[in-house]
Amino acid sequence: MTPLNTGLVARLEALIWGPQASERPDRHQGALRLVRTVLILGRDLAMGQLTLRAMSLVYTTLLSIVPLLALSFSVLKAFGVHNQIQPMLVKLLEPLGEQGVEVASRIAEFIQNINVGVLGAVGLALLLYTAISLVQKIEESLNYIWHIPQPRSLGERFSRYLSVLMVGPILIFSALGITATVMNVETVRQLMAVEALGQVLELASRLVPYLLIIAAFTFVYLFIPNTRVRLGPALIGGTIGGIVWQTSGWLFAVFVTSSGQYAAIYSSFAILVLFMIWLYVSWLVLLFGASVAFYTQHPEYLYQGNGEPRLSIRVRERLALSIMSRVAGRFVAGQPALSQTEFTQQLGVPMHALSAVVTALQGSGLLLQTADDPPLLLPARDPALISVTQVLDAIRCVGEARFFSPDELPAPASVDQVLAKIRASVDATADAISLRDLAEPPPSSAVGDSV
């Protein structure tokens, strides 16, 4: 790269990521945030984690699509609309062209041949597990995007997954049935006969597939991640994901019609190859929309660099003391406690960094989270009984395991002596300072404002 190009790149980086960017007028902040979001989304795609998880979902889909549709078939059969499964599959596989019709007919044939009565208890359990595994894999992928380390409890996962598998098909076919019924009403036909209104209704009918996909994506982003997702970010992610999915379907259809060499190379396997490619594109678009929703709700993650930063011990200590100081200050003053989201706004740090420190403080018995939604942070005991040394020890001990701890790590006697002197010096100063002494009075501004 030439010096001229290097200087241009440096100026662009300073313009987008520099500290002076936050001082620009409010009318520029929206455009700056949009540019940062596009760059971060491109970085996430280039790093490969989204593509790897999309590939994993393709494999799980191939294993579970027949059991999943068989379960949906049994639910829809009770409502007398089970014959609509194949037309729905044809619509979803429309980008495959004629091959999509063949794949849909094969899948429908497999479903028709499943006889649940001869499976037995073990076979039925395996059928349910295979169908549920796809929803579980989707939740794991969305939890990764939303930086949620812990999954739901087993009981909650089972109830939510069954709700999706049982209620989801009914909602989809109900929406399609309502749309078809409305378009066949005599009044609507008469309105379509009027030229101006007919054009508007025709445009609306063309928008229906987009709206249904956007609604489906938004529902997934709201319901599946193990965190509270606001409607606004979920709708933004669903809108972008739905538009990209429909556009990708059109482009893929063009690709299929112009790639006859696949049949010459793969012969009869060409259908399977194209089907897997379309599945991969679909899952990647779904995960991409989830990333859009995440960055919309958590703009604090829009920072420069490859991947998430690893916090140093000094940063963790400073963050832990800042959290405990604010928690103790609000507790002593009798002010309402704050949630992790409000702390991220106050401290300007990403949620995953705050969660790591909060988890360490909870594990050491210094911090509690209430059962509210979202949970609020409270001191585990009287701040006067919590010393600064205890807070620092809670952070420094993170990652120490039974077989890999300072006591088990051999070191020369001179090293042990130096470390002991450092520890004694720190304890002599920090042990005499309690959290009540460190408590920061709450600001007079509204709860959750920056300080």
Most confident of 110-114, 260-264, 330-334, 339-343: 330-334
Residue with tokens 């008469």: 190
Most confident of 143-157, 251-265, 302-316: 143-157
Greater confidence (326 vs 373) lies with: 326
Answering whether pTM is above 0.95, one says: no
Residue 449: per-residue pLDDT: 43
Query: Tens digit of pLDDT for each residue in 56-69?
Result: 889 888 888 777 77
Is residue 242 over pLDDT 70?
yes
The pair of structure tokens assigned to 170 is: 């009914």
Domain with CATH 1.10.10.10 in the chain: 313-438
Residue 280: per-residue pLDDT: 92
Cβ atoms of residues 228 and 374 within 8 Å: yes
The pair of structure tokens assigned to 149 is: 């380390």
- The helix (run of H) or strand (run of E) holding residue 377 is strand 377-379
Q: Lowest mean pLDDT: which of 97-101, 141-145, 336-340, 415-419? A: 97-101
Cβ atoms of residues 393 and 364 within 8 Å: yes
Is residue 169 over pLDDT 80?
no
Segment 288-307 shows an average pLDDT of 81
Interstrand relation of 377-379 and 367-369 (parallel, antiparallel or unpaired): antiparallel
Cβ atoms of residues 278 and 95 within 8 Å: yes
Is residue 351 over pLDDT 80?
no
* Per-residue pLDDT band at 445 (split at 50, 70, 90): very low
Residue 291: per-residue pLDDT: 93
Residue 223: per-residue pLDDT: 84
Segment 8-26 shows an average pLDDT of 63
* Per-residue pLDDT band at 450 (split at 50, 70, 90): very low
* Per-residue pLDDT band at 446 (split at 50, 70, 90): very low
Average pLDDT over the chain, rounded to an integer: 76
Question: Measured between alpha carbons, how far is residue 415 from residues 258, 313, 339, 395, 424 in Å?
Answer: 70, 20, 42, 22, 14
The distance of Cα 316 from the centroid of its chain, to the nearest Å, equals 25
Most confident of 167-171, 234-238, 436-440: 234-238
Q: Which phi and psi angles does 411 have, rounded to 5°?
A: -150, 150
- The residues that bridge with 367 in the sheet, in sequence order, are 379
Residue 369: per-residue pLDDT: 87
* Per-residue pLDDT band at 448 (split at 50, 70, 90): very low
Is the CATH number of domain 313-438 1.10.10.10? yes
Cα distance from N-terminal residue to C-terminal residue, the chain: 42
